[in-house]
């Protein structure tokens, strides 16, 4: 996947002008004398001596602060394993989306959430620039992208006043593309219909400009903004007709700091993070936040299954889900409080594991209930059936989405354990766990005691929703 285009010309950090400390994301972050992409190419910042290997913006929430790591992790591309692993993680996003059935709504046309840059022009203006990819996942059909536009909404911790978000969408078709020559960008922002060949890919640039407003008393954006939700609307046109589709991107605008907290005498430590998103490579993110609190190889680091799934991009807006016959019929058999009791929630499971398996699980579940055996559907449908969270299942703006369970959890805990030098577990814990007397451990690294993890997490120390503490370190 090509790197996103810079939103401002890069200037070298030569230390000629002192770095300016600003109140950003709730901690001192060096933004200094550079704008736009900031330090890149392995350069070292003279004033503070930090090598920002691939940072897209100047010192944004630099980890050497002892505070937020949002900049390096989410927008900077910092990676535990090196550049190649991170590039692979982001380049293969379309495959992860396709595995969830995300292309079904667009008749085979899929739009990724892409890679993003974040620049702070002033405390009154932010610029987010993303490069997204359209993929034609069909083997034979040409698909038309006849329309493409976008809107954005910013969320904050306080009244936003006149803050607004303007979105510009521009095509980035390859110069050697026969079809792309006739569909290049226009100065008026109009999207020219574009033909995407079978198996082909093209890119689109989305620029979100967040402005605090010009009126007196307009808030400083770092003081109030928390996240930005971007909706890209596009039309897929092809052999199966015209389909109006959308892709949704959630971007964090505020980091998290655990600096100043005294956990010396604690054995259960909830670790606060920024709002996790698809740009955060899971292992790197877990290591960056948890490592400062790990004291012994006998410690165990746990992470919730939903936050892990969000980093894997395994969430879908209901408008991108097309319920079929199996989903509409099967969902009626569940209690109203179940995440599978809606057609879209059930269809998300169908897209993930297949219609035949869900239909078989439904019939098997009915048969098992006749002989007074509960849970037959979940056993037959597989692990994902228990992990689907319908809308309202997590914190804003993810409360508008259906969240599936994470994948490849065994590989995740193994790699994270190697990096942290202690045990790692992926868990499903909520406020009802104490009533049930147990939690669900999806995967754990070698040597982790399930009984110990269950006992210490039963009270749900991570909390739910606004706490934003998906990681818990269990010290010995």
Residue 350 confidence (pLDDT) above 50: yes
**Given 3-state DSSP classes, what are the helix, strand and coil percentages for the chain, each rounded to the nearest 5?**
30, 25, 45
Integer-rounded Cα radius of gyration of the chain:
23
Per-residue model confidence (pLDDT) at position 129: 94
Mean pLDDT of 463-469: 74
Q: Measured between alpha carbons, how far is 27 from 476 in angstroms, rounded to an integer? A: 31
Alpha helices in 83-126 (DSSP H): 83-91, 93-99
Q: State which CATH number among 2.60.40, 3.10.590, 3.10.450, 1.10.3470 fits the domain covering 92-252.
A: 2.60.40
* Cα–chain center distance at 375: 31
| Top-level class of domain 268-313+405-474 | alpha beta
Residue 441 confidence (pLDDT) above 70: yes
Residue 337 CB: number of other CB atoms within 10 A? Answer: 7
* Cα–chain center distance at 473: 22
Per-residue model confidence (pLDDT) at position 339: 93
Per-domain residue ranges of the chain = 92-252, 268-313+405-474, 318-400
Contact yes or no for 210/128 (Cβ under 8 A): yes
Per-residue model confidence (pLDDT) at position 122: 82
Per-residue model confidence (pLDDT) at position 451: 93
Which band of pLDDT confidence, cut at 50, 70 and 90, is reported for residue 68? very low
Among the listed ranges 60-64, 193-197, 403-407, 435-439, which one has the minimum average pLDDT value? Answer: 60-64
Q: Measured between alpha carbons, how far is 276 from 273 in angstroms, rounded to an integer? A: 7
Q: How many DSSP H helices and E strands does the chain contain?
A: 14, 18
Residue 12 confidence (pLDDT) above 60: no
Per-residue model confidence (pLDDT) at position 50: 31
Which band of pLDDT confidence, cut at 50, 70 and 90, is reported for residue 465? low
Residue 264 confidence (pLDDT) above 70: no
Per-residue model confidence (pLDDT) at position 106: 81
Which band of pLDDT confidence, cut at 50, 70 and 90, is reported for residue 275? very high
Per-residue model confidence (pLDDT) at position 181: 60
Is the bond into 397 cis (omega within 30 degrees of 0)? yes
Residues with Cβ within 8 Å of residue 92, at least 6 apart in sequence: none
pLDDT tens per residue, range 190-246: 999 999 999 999 999 999 999 988 777 777 888 888 999 999 999 999 999 999 999
Q: Which of 167, 178, 181 is nearest to 132 (CA)?
A: 167
Contact yes or no for 341/335 (Cβ under 8 A): yes
Any idea what DSSP says for residue 279?
A: T
Tell me the three state secondary structure of residue 285: helix
pTM: predicted TM-score of the whole model, two decimal places: 0.80
Per-residue model confidence (pLDDT) at position 346: 97
Per-residue model confidence (pLDDT) at position 134: 96
Q: What is the mean pLDDT of the chain?
A: 80
Structure tokens at 254: 């505020």
Among the listed ranges 208-217, 340-349, 388-397, 430-439, which one has the minimum average pLDDT value? Answer: 430-439
């Amino acid at each position: 996947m090509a790197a996103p285009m810079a939103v401002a010309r890069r200037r070298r950090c030569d230390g000629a002008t002192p770095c300016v400390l600003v109140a950003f994301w709730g901690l001192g972050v060096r933004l200094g004398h550079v704008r736009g992409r900031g330090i890149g190419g392995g350069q070292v910042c003279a004033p503070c001596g930090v090598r920002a290997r691939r940072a897209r913006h100047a010192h944004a929430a630099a980890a050497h602060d002892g505070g937020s790591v949002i900049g390096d992790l989410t927008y900077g591309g910092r990676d535990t394993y090196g550049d190649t692993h991170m590039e692979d993680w982001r380049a293969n996003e379309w495959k992860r989306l396709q595995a969830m059935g995300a292309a079904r709504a667009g008749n085979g046309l899929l739009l990724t959430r892409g890679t993003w840059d974040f620049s702070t022009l002033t405390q009154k203006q932010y610029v987010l620039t993303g490069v997204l990819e359209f993929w034609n996942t069909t083997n034979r059909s040409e698909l038309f992208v006849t329309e493409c536009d976008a809107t954005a909404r910013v969320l904050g911790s306080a009244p936003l006043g006149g803050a607004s978000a303007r979105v510009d969408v521009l095509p980035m078709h390859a110069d050697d593309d026969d079809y792309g020559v006739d569909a290049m960008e226009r100065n008026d922002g109009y999207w020219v219909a574009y033909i995407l060949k079978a198996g082909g890919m093209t890119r689109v640039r989305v620029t979100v400009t967040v402005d605090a407003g010009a009126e007196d008393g307009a808030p400083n954006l770092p003081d109030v903004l928390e996240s930005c939700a971007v909706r890209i609307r596009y039309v897929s046109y092809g052999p199966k007709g015209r389909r109006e589709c959308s892709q949704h991107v959630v971007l964090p605008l505020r980091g998290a700091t655990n600096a100043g907290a005294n956990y010396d005498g604690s054995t259960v430590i909830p670790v606060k993070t920024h709002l996790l998103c698809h740009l955060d490579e899971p292992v790197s993110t877990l290591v960056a936040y948890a490592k400062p609190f790990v004291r012994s190889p006998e410690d165990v680091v746990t992470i919730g299954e939903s936050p892990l799934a969000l980093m894997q991009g395994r969430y879908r807006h209901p408008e991108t889900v097309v319920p079929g016959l199996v989903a509409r019929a099967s969902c009626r058999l569940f209690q109203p409080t179940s995440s599978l009791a809606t057609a879209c929630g059930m269809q998300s499971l169908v897209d993930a594991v297949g219609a035949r398996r869900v239909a078989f699980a439904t019939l098997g579940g009915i048969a098992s209930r006749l002989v007074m055996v509960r849970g037959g559907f979940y056993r037959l449908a597989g692990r994902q059936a228990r992990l689907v969270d319908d809308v309202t299942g997590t914190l804003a703006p993810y409360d508008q989405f259906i969240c599936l369970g994470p994948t490849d959890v065994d590989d995740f805990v193994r790699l994270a354990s190697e990096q942290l030098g202690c045990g790692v577990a992926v868990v499903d814990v909520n406020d009802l766990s104490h009533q049930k007397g147990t939690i669900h451990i999806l995967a754990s690294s070698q040597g982790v005691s399930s009984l110990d993890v269950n006992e210490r997490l039963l009270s749900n120390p991570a909390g739910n929703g606004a706490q934003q503490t998906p990681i818990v370190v269990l010290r010995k």
